[in-house]
Chain A
């Protein structure tokens, strides 16, 4: 086995300067001439490992073997020289150039000092014929569909005479028939002798395409086997991990009230794939926590965009607090009682360069409490911030310090303090504890439970299944922009049960 290996990872570890360990002692090998899948959840270390293989990052320790010899890959150029090509999830094409120009960018076919367009086109035609990937060499990339652009990316990699092709989540941008076509092409390439590393968290696709799978979780290899030796349950257990159902803390009073937010047959087909949703039916009642599970791109972001006024629904009805909110703006949603903890707290949840005070009162700054005639009452704003800091236990150098001086957990606490201070009736908690320390997470969990106890309806979107099962009263699972499963009680529910739905292997709703 090892003797036939094209690539072998030997005890590869990667730690970043800030102490994050992305990879720990990763060892496995990739056989020649096969399609080898690498699977795992977001943040499991798949991308970091591929970046190391492609020379974009260097391992902290461990070594990489190519053809049995130690290889040091210092840059993508070195990787290409070693015969490694990569197709990134986000394409790296120049939209205003033609297909041929893109493919030979950096290795232009010349005659004298001029670029030979004829020759370039001819070579592209030959290349696309050889690998059975039909593209028009003279079409501008900006005019091509996403699937066609992907073909160009693959051809671009193949034009460099590679023997190993890395594909990072290649199907994320494709429709099912396009995916099917891509798979056929990839099988052809494999039969022609190319080794393919296929990175995906969609287990159905892994099963359809690859012969061998390596599963990463939290930076470690947790599974490495022939797919023939694994059934679906075993596979999804490997990916989802050993998270078992945790003893649920009992909430003080759980009285579910009247319907608060109701979506009926809501669709939105524009935007990025993860933002598209179709035929959503969901009602959130006052005083309950509805958990939304799903892998990245399942449509949760679309749901949140609709419920926070960032996007209008194309069809269907959305009602919040008795008002029609189908095309309500963020301002409408907020004035009707929405509070929102966004998934990306740096991009959407705060202004890192502004002070704690500015961040803490933003949004509420037009309230009479902070006014002094035509001016803002800075003293009252500082006071309110001090109150939030002490109530939420935010560790900070002081209210006038910039938010960037705070750690992730403390920043998130301040953002939560701001959002919760608006006395909302409906809360969207999108990845509320991602990347923050356990104590801060526990604190926010308790706060949210108390809010639900006082009648606030909460939509909890999280990729942390323990968090989901701890906080939620009921759970819906989204995949491909639809709700594919509903669990009206979470008693006896385990991550194992959710896994197949989240990965699109099963469907009940």
Chain B
């Protein structure tokens, strides 16, 4: 029984392993030291505390962006505004920290809240347009990301730019607004704790509250939700608002946790990784945590290989692309034959060709 429940996870893990090997092995073989490349890629990230810290730092914002995506996907909204919301959330947070006069203890919370509200518009607008005018939220949110970028660049250049910085960057974020580091020897900051709490909160919201239940109903069958008399539009806008707030909040904690100035001049891509994280986690908020950590581990391993060997860092991008392809290929991941095989359920053909299956 428990084995049956675990089957999808096992299939996923096995397939991920195959993907990693398929990409990394040929890449490694082209170098002088194939064993070293593979070893660095697979075990390098665990070799010291700083690298482990890198994994957690990297997983923190993608976990939150994944949560934003998962909440919106669950309610049937393919809203890709997370990327723009993340960017604008970071900018809004820095702007609030720089421009609003605040007592020291309020600096971080107020800046984060302001950034979340400002950034969330990138998800909310497409959500409102979808709910009321039936526009495709996929298209509008995708395009709005670039609007967010250029609005952000304008604000950065004309209101926040520090002429002494020597590059296009904001004034320094006040020290009292920065999030405290919590693990010595790494840059892991308070935001990581907030991200973990948010994922747990997201799971409670989706599966234990009336609002989350309604979002799932609308997402899994809007006609049914309408038949029950649920307020479809309100549910959609609520999901978009929640998603936007979370993604923008992620941008804020990223800024206050790791940066001293705002200097993004292009969309940072964290929101896109969040989409991958959410798809890999099947939109399950609790699974976002391992899925974000796994993708961050791949990234850190790839960075290490890129720094130490003559291997293009794009190899990791290739792995990410394949992971995304296969994670979305329900035909593979949810293949009933594969699941049966893993869960050890017997069928005539299987027991014959795989006698070992009975030993388990």
Give residues in A with beta carbon < 8 Å to B: 308-310, 329-335, 340, 342, 347-354, 358, 362-363, 365-366, 371, 374-376, 378
Question: Contacting B210 at CB < 8 Å: which of A329, A332, A365?
Answer: A365
Chain B residues contacting A332 (CB-CB under 8 Å) are 229
Least Cβ–Cβ distance between B154 and chain A, in angstroms = 38
Chain A residues contacting B226 (CB-CB under 8 Å) are 310, 330, 348
Chain B residues contacting A309 (CB-CB under 8 Å) are 229
Give residues in B with beta carbon < 8 Å to A: 204, 207-210, 213-214, 216-217, 220-221, 223-224, 226-231
Q: Which residue of B lies closest to A366 (CB)?
A: B210
The 4 closest A-B pairs by CB, nearest first: A331-B229, A330-B229, A363-B228, A351-B221
Chain B residues contacting A351 (CB-CB under 8 Å) are 217, 220-221, 224
Say whether B227 contacts A340, CB under 8 Å.
yes
Least Cβ–Cβ distance between A255 and chain B, in angstroms = 30
Chain A residues contacting B216 (CB-CB under 8 Å) are 354, 358
10 new A-B contacts at CB < 8 Å, known A358-B217, A378-B208: A308-B227, A329-B229, A330-B228, A335-B229, A340-B227, A348-B223, A352-B221, A353-B220, A363-B228, A363-B230
Say whether B228 contacts A334, CB under 8 Å.
yes
Least Cβ–Cβ distance between B264 and chain A, in angstroms = 37
Say whether A331 contacts B231, CB under 8 Å.
yes
Q: Which residue of B lies closest to A364 (CB)?
A: B228
Say whether B208 contacts A375, CB under 8 Å.
yes
Say whether A376 contacts B209, CB under 8 Å.
yes
Chain A residues contacting B227 (CB-CB under 8 Å) are 308, 330, 340, 342, 348-349
- Which of A340, A349, A353, A363 has the largest number of chain B CB atoms within 10 A? A363
- Which of B208, B216, B221 has the largest number of chain A CB atoms within 10 A? B221
Question: Contacting A348 at CB < 8 Å: which of B224, B230, B231?
Answer: B224
Q: Which residue of B lies closest to A370 (CB)?
A: B210
Least Cβ–Cβ distance between B238 and chain A, in angstroms = 14
Chain A residues contacting B209 (CB-CB under 8 Å) are 374-376
Least Cβ–Cβ distance between A377 and chain B, in angstroms = 9
Least Cβ–Cβ distance between B215 and chain A, in angstroms = 12
Chain B residues contacting A342 (CB-CB under 8 Å) are 227
Say whether B217 contacts A333, CB under 8 Å.
no
Chain A residues contacting B204 (CB-CB under 8 Å) are 375
Question: Contacting A376 at CB < 8 Å: which of B210, B217, B224?
Answer: B210
Separation of A353 and B204 alpha carbons in the complex (Å)? 20
Say whether B213 contacts A358, CB under 8 Å.
yes
Chain B residues contacting A330 (CB-CB under 8 Å) are 226-229
Q: Which residue of B lies closest to A363 (CB)?
A: B228
Question: Contacting A349 at CB < 8 Å: which of B207, B224, B230?
Answer: B224
Separation of A347 and B221 alpha carbons in the complex (Å)? 7
Chain A residues contacting B214 (CB-CB under 8 Å) are 365
Q: Can you list 29 contacts pairing A with B, beta carbon distance less than 8 Å?
A: A309-B229, A330-B227, A331-B229, A332-B229, A340-B227, A342-B227, A347-B221, A347-B224, A348-B226, A348-B227, A349-B227, A350-B224, A351-B217, A351-B220, A351-B221, A351-B224, A352-B221, A354-B216, A358-B217, A362-B217, A362-B228, A363-B229, A365-B214, A366-B210, A374-B209, A375-B208, A375-B209, A376-B208, A376-B213
